[in-house]
């Protein structure tokens, strides 16, 4: 950490800072310039996290220089990308994986129908929400355990592993007993109780970026899960909230290559939520693979016009089959396969 002080800082204030920093087990290096004094802090910066340096008179600015995450940082892993295995497939390997299915599990027949269709088109995982976070308390919030049972039956028939969202730490074990991969949704990216809970389970986690989360926040959320012992985390860019009014969210495409440089965890994209419109799903998917994404999660519904949620952004089976066909050239252009 580097502390920049104004010219008018007193020797006593510098001494005070030095004592506090050294008291936390770091060394200091003081450099006095014409108009600024710089106090370099050498050692484990995390120990200074609670030190309110800015409120010391004379301190102008404070610059952290260490990454606040360790397990999620690129350097933690010998391989550039950790592979996260789900069923017979691995996120982060040569193949780009696609999870597909409806926003909500609405019932058994539609899930079987969807499972068969997306499996046939080449999806690697089945998605579907049994517990649904809804902005309004009056909206449909999922079939809960019945939904989980349906997902599990569809897996038995199709062989597709299941990824589904967990909303409440009390449900984590229940969801893990049915699902192959636990999704943490955007609204829960900083639900630390939930992150700790899934960190104690041995189930891969799909961690979606929060609507106003920086990429460092996202990696710190992953660190929560990993610091509890569960290293199987896949990150997901799904759009952020900005002034942009024409799409549901703003798809932050550069997050994909930035994360690929900064972390060893696999990174996928959710073109359905990012764009919020069926006709944007294909171009956003192409772009995500082109930029190096390890996969996609896509909403598919037997009849989007009757979907109980997110119908506007769900693909029909035929549209999904077309998407899967057209993805191959982009995956190959990026040196991957489908």
The footprint of a copy of itself on residues 232-251 (CB under 8 A) is 240-247, 250-251
Region of 79-87, 110-118, 120-128, 133-141 interacting with a copy of itself (CB under 8 A)? 133-141
Question: Considering only residues 257, 318, 325, 337, which one is a binding residue for a copy of itself as defined by CB under 8 A?
Answer: 257
Region of 77-85, 112-120, 148-156, 190-198 interacting with a copy of itself (CB under 8 A)? 190-198
End-to-end CA, the chain:
44
Helix pair angle (215-227, 255-262), 10° resolution? 40
221 touches 213 (CB < 8 A): yes
| Nearest-angstrom CA–CA distance, 57 and 62 | 13
From the CB of 88, what's the least distance to a copy of itself, in Å?
A: 27
Within positions 282 to 301, which residues make up the interface with a copy of itself, using CB under 8 A?
A: 283-284, 286-292
Which among 207, 233, 204 has a CA at the least distance from the CA of 218?
207
| Residue placing its CB nearer to a copy of itself in the complex, 85 or 280 | 280
58 lies in the site for a copy of itself, by CB under 8 A: no
214 lies in the site for a copy of itself, by CB under 8 A: yes
Within positions 65 to 104, which residues make up the interface with a copy of itself, using CB under 8 A?
A: 65-66, 68-69
Region of 122-130, 144-152, 153-161, 216-224 interacting with a copy of itself (CB under 8 A)? 216-224
The tokens for 171 are 């449900």
116 lies in the site for a copy of itself, by CB under 8 A: no
The binding track of 162-181 with respect to a copy of itself, each residue x by CB under 8 A or -, is -----xxxx-----------
Under rule CB under 8 A, how many of the chain's residues touch a copy of itself? 110
Question: Considering only residues 84, 99, 220, 324, which one is a binding residue for a copy of itself as defined by CB under 8 A?
Answer: 220
| Residue placing its CB nearer to a copy of itself in the complex, 102 or 161 | 102
Residue with tokens 């997110």: 310
277 lies in the site for a copy of itself, by CB under 8 A: yes
Which among 203, 184, 202 has a CA at the least distance from the CA of 194?
184
| Nearest-angstrom CA–CA distance, 305 and 288 | 26
139 lies in the site for a copy of itself, by CB under 8 A: yes
Please name the residues in contact with 9: beta carbons below 8 A apart, sequence gap of 6 or more: 37, 57, 58, 59
Task: Return the sign of the alpha-carbon dihedral for residues 208, 258, 124, 298.
Answer: positive
Distance of CA 283 to the CA centre of its chain: 21
């Amino acid at each position: 950490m580097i502390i920049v002080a104004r010219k008018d800082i007193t020797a006593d204030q510098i001494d005070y800072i030095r004592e506090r920093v050294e008291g936390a087990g770091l060394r200091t290096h003081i450099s006095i310039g014409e108009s600024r004094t710089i106090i370099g802090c050498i050692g484990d910066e995390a120990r200074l996290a609670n030190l309110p340096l800015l409120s010391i008179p004379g301190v102008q600015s404070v610059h952290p220089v260490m990454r606040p995450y360790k397990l999620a940082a690129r350097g933690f892993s010998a391989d550039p990308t950790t592979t996260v295995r789900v069923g017979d497939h691995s996120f982060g390997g040569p193949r780009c994986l696609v999870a597909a299915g409806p926003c909500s599990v609405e019932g058994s027949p539609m899930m079987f129908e969807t499972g068969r269709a997306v499996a046939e088109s080449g999806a690697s995982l089945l998605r579907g929400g049994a517990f649904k976070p809804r902005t309004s308390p009056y909206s449909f919030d999922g079939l809960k355990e019945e939904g989980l049972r349906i997902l599990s039956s569809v897996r038995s028939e199709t062989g597709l592993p299941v990824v589904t969202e967990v909303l409440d730490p009390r449900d984590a074990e229940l969801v893990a007993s049915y699902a192959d991969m636990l999704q943490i949704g955007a609204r829960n990216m900083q639900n630390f109780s939930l992150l700790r809970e899934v960190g104690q389970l041995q189930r891969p986690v799909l961690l979606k970026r929060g609507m106003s989360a920086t990429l460092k926040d996202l990696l710190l959320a992953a660190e929560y899960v990993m610091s509890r012992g569960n290293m199987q985390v896949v990150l997901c860019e799904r759009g952020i909230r900005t002034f942009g009014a024409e799409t549901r969210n703003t798809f932050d495409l550069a997050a994909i290559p930035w994360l690929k440089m900064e972390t060893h965890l696999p990174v996928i994209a959710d073109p359905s939520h990012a764009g919020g419109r069926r006709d944007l799903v294909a171009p956003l998917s192409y772009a995500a693979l082109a930029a190096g994404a390890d996969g996609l999660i896509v909403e598919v519904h037997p009849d989007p016009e009757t979907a109980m949620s997110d119908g506007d952004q769900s693909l029909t089976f035929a549209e999904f089959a077309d998407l899967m066909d057209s993805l191959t050239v982009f995956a190959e252009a990026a040196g991957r396969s489908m």
